[in-house]
Amino acid sequence: LNYIKNRNSVLQQPKNFLLINLALTDLGLILTNTSLHSIASFNKNWPFGQQGCSFYGFCGGVCGLTSIATMAAIALTRLAVVIDPFSSLRLTERFALKCIICSWIYGLIWMIPPLFGWNRFVLEGFGTTCTFDYISKDFWNRLYIIIIVIGGFLIPLIIIVVSYTIILHKLSKRSHHLIDQNVYKKSFPIHLEQQNGYYFISNSPNYETYRNRTKTFFESNETTRMTQIIRLTEARATRTALLVLFIYCTAWGPYAFMTILSQTGFEHYVNMYTTAVLGLFTKTAACINPLVYALSSSGFRRYICIYSNFFYKCYLRSYPISSPTYDFNRRNLTITITARPTASVWSQQ
């Protein structure tokens, strides 16, 4: 996403800065956590000591919580655009950078206390990853767990759910209003008598009949086309909202639920296998999140398709494929094998 943004000046707009920040946070999560996790997995233990464990947990927590805050900020900016369509024009680089700085500060706030004694970073799973201590049940540790679950997960979730619910409600209400206005008020009149192609009809004695029938035909087609566009926009917005909520809840919901279980007397359900699987969910979401948000943006979606098509053509040119075809001879029941032209030949034609 950063490569596409830097190569195309059209995408270098303040409204896309949050998408780039989301990609950077998820990239940081992959670089700092996945690399150390891979080394520890091949080593079959944690070779970096307590300092490496603190570094792993701190970087993973900051990048993860900053990603969550960025998702909530994207939901709020989209809500502002739907409520006030001209707000996107007033979105400046300074305001976008302030949102990005606030999201990083939001992530840092929750991960600094374990570095100074309020909670701590410990090994989890098979002893190849680290996170904050959600097993200990002393008062201060429980207080930290409650605060981080509420502030780091529930509040952003409520913001995302409420924002996209209002967006879908506003789009549905606005679309019904436009459809009713188009049908009953006929806001798209077509005066065919002004077109040269229909000038011969105006000299006909049945001019009014032809005019009314043709006008009704074109107006009904225009109404149908506009209705289809509005419905398509609603479906796309609904699909994006549900997909964002699904990825958010799938990535971070089980982890938050696991911390609550460990603090409410059900820690026997929390074992090395569940923690390893839940950590895999968060890392998988880090790979999918930026792509989902980028595909929901028309600008990024268009350039992603362009570059994907370009790399696919380069692959075909580099690796020509030839496959046999079979020619059946009905008289002697023999099969002749011939080769098709390669993909590079087809591309040259």
Tell me which of 44-48, 89-93, 99-103 is least confident.
89-93
- Residue with token string 């479906």: 235
pLDDT category at 222 given cuts 50, 70, 90 is low
Residue 300 has pLDDT above 50, yes or no: yes
Provide the percentage of residues in the chain whose pLDDT is more than 90: 13
At 289 the pLDDT is: 72
Cα dist from 134 to 51, 145, 249, whole Å:
19, 7, 19
pLDDT, mean of residues 218-222: 49
At 348 the pLDDT is: 40
Tell me which of 49-53, 84-88, 189-193 is least confident.
189-193
Residue 83 Rama label (left phi>0; alpha psi -120 to 50; beta): alpha
Residue 158 has pLDDT above 90, yes or no: yes
At 56 the pLDDT is: 92
Residue 58 has pLDDT above 90, yes or no: yes
Q: Give the residue range(s) of CATH 1.20.1070.10 domains in the chain.
A: 2-190+241-317
Tokens, residue 54 = 């603190």
Residue 104 has pLDDT above 90, yes or no: yes
pLDDT category at 53 given cuts 50, 70, 90 is very high
At 83 the pLDDT is: 82
CB 129 within 8 A of CB 56: yes
Tokens, residue 185 = 């008020």
Measured CA to CA, the distance from residue 208 to residue 113 in angstroms comes to 80
Cα angle vertex 211, ends 207, 217, to 5°? 150
Q: What burial letters (b/e) apply to 175-188, b meaning 16+ CB within 10 Å?
A: beeeeeebeeeeee
Q: Kindly tell me the burial class for residue 344, based on how many C-beta atoms sit within 10 Å of its own C-beta (0-12, 13-18, 19 or more).
A: middle
CB 56 within 8 A of CB 144: no
* pTM, two decimal places: 0.69
Provide the percentage of residues in the chain whose pLDDT is more than 70: 59
At 267 the pLDDT is: 76
CATH topology for 2-190+241-317 is Rhopdopsin 7-helix transmembrane proteins (1.20.1070)
Residues across the chain: 349
Residue 84: phi and psi, rounded to 5, are -130, 100
Residue 193 has pLDDT above 60, yes or no: no
Residue 132 Rama label (left phi>0; alpha psi -120 to 50; beta): beta
Measured CA to CA, the distance from residue 193 to residue 7 in angstroms comes to 49
Residue 221 has pLDDT above 80, yes or no: no
pLDDT, mean of residues 299-305: 59
Tokens, residue 157 = 């979730």
Tell me which of 6-10, 45-49, 107-111, 157-161 is least confident.
6-10
